[in-house]
Amino acid sequence: MKRIIFMLFAITALASCEIDREPFGSLQSDRINNNPEESIDALLNGTYAQLKAWSDPMHRLGEYAGDNIMIRGSSTDAFYEFISFARTPNNGRLSTFWDSGYKAVAQASNIIKMIPQGKNAALDSKLGECYFIRGMMYFYLVRAFGRPYYQNPETNLGVPIVNGTPDDVINLNLPDRATVKATYEQVIADLKKAEEMISVNRGPIFASKEAAQALLSRVYLYMSGTYENPNPTYAQLAVDYSTKVINGSRYSLLPRADFMKYNTFIPENNRETIFAIKRVASEFSGADHYYGIGGMYANIGGQGWGEMYASAKYISLLNETGRNDWRPEKYKIVDARAAFIEPTYSKNAAGAYTEVFRFIKDDAGNALNYVQAPITRTGGTITCTEGNDSYTLTPVDAAQEVYSIVYKNGKTYTGVIDYLISLNRVYPQFYIVKASREGEDSHLHSPVISRLGEVYLNRAEAYAKLQNYGSALDDLNRIRTRSIVNGGYAALTAANAGSLIDKERQLELAFQAERSFDVFRNGKPLTRLYPGPQNQTADIAATDFRVVYYIPQSAINSYPGKLTQNPTN
């Protein structure tokens, strides 16, 4: 039965290619070999098409497991397991991530096997794109299903290395999962082959030499150990590959004003984007505006669920240098990354905003919750009211309207005077629009895989792990001062490098599916002590078994051979 299921899977792996109109056989192979230039574009387009289905669960399992977001409450959707860390092997979204990833691996590998290298440079360049896609898929698969590289990569399991549909699909016995180390070796080999072969840059919605170099900079960074115990060899390689991209002339950082509109640019018109998975409005149905990535983060023009918001932890980081004020007539963005957040200010029946003092308090059961207490101004005195209790506000920074109160439980809470933000259940809606409005089209979004801003941060971290703190500071501040005018860090040392670089990566790469992996690969615990239904007080250690996802049970059931599951405790 397993062989039958796998045969169907192998056939499906070619479903987006033009050659699926006839049974795969010698005639097709002869046709492709005789006319490779005529065949490769259709074959390659089918491979890119797999990335569209893959990119949705890729985003959710990477971003939802971090601390940039909160959800309004529990959900029956399979993605809630990513948030709650209640891991199960029967997760439909996880299955889509696995299946689409391996379909892309199969299709890229089949093209590589069918079309010989060396016929001409243009054909070789497109074969190089296949190597990039395959290497990228293996990397994203191993970082989801394999443990962080610093944790015994020689023995921990990665993912199966199955490069293409086997010649004999009847008598299959595929290998079990390779080690994390062996999987990374496959990733590196493929990406280096892509770097070597791709000679034509077709733009940021296609693989390129620079896209391979940018991803290699991240791969080697993942291998570079922790700040406490770095691996200098891999850190240097991360520096080297970052430098190749940075020193090239093809990409540049957007200026601050344009960066604040990053999400609205199509990838082809964004000179900071190195590789993105292209979506177009014609294939983005009405349902996608609700069920796509952006639809959970915001409701725009009446479209989208808008049930997941920027976390209080992330908002606090944005406001660390100075308050970002989103009120329409007082709009002031201190940190450019705050432009991707849009609170849903509510008006009363008379069409006016209600002024409130918003703060976070300790609630029953040691949980944190928001309070939006209406304020009254009497001369120079400002008071706020919660139920029957009234409090006088003490200025902390009156110019920014930051105040504190001594609450009835004896604790002092600091908050801001703001307008009332509409609630979903009990949580203010801090909408996220970084995954919406591409081309100004509601929730249309082409997920960004690599951009130059990340490459600078990759090099900054790698330099720090090499104890080259001066160079690390230069790269870090290039990103920092782009977002915060005159906000550069004064110094970077062994004592603060890890925390400052980690903070900047969190601010810069939020909502790009990087956060949870960044935390765990450096051996840090994930802490989510902020309002929301997540377990606020239980940190997730980097050594916790839940850091990695279970292999989908559907994949184990259909696999022709042994496919070892991840530990359950």
47-66 pLDDT, tens digit each: 999 999 999 999 999 999 99
Tokens of 442: 């509601």
Domain count, the chain: 1
* Beta-bridge partners for 377: 382
Residue 411 lies in a domain: yes
H helix runs in 265-311, sequence order: 288-291, 293-297
| Per-residue confidence (pLDDT) for residue 194, from 0 to 100 | 98
Range of the domain at 385: 347-420
Tokens of 145: 């299903």
| Per-residue confidence (pLDDT) for residue 172, from 0 to 100 | 84
Residue 483 lies in a domain: no
352-384 pLDDT, tens digit each: 999 999 999 998 777 999 999 999 999 999 999
Tokens of 159: 């993912």
Residue 567 lies in a domain: no
CA–CA gap between residue 50 and residue 12 (Å, rounded):
11
Residue 295 lies in a domain: no
CA–CA gap between residue 342 and residue 326 (Å, rounded):
7
Whole-prediction pTM value? 0.94
| Per-residue confidence (pLDDT) for residue 28, from 0 to 100 | 59
| Per-residue confidence (pLDDT) for residue 366, from 0 to 100 | 77
More confident residue, 395 or 288: 395
- Find the range with the poorest average confidence among 163-172, 192-201, 417-426, 430-439: 163-172
Look up residue 392 and give its DSSP letter: E
Task: Inform me whether the pLDDT recorded for 23 exceeds 50.
Answer: no
CA–CA gap between residue 129 and residue 546 (Å, rounded):
33
CA atoms lying within 13 Å on the CB side of residue 539: 10
Average pLDDT, the chain: 92
| Per-residue confidence (pLDDT) for residue 25, from 0 to 100 | 34
Task: Inform me whether the pLDDT recorded for 5 exceeds 70.
Answer: no
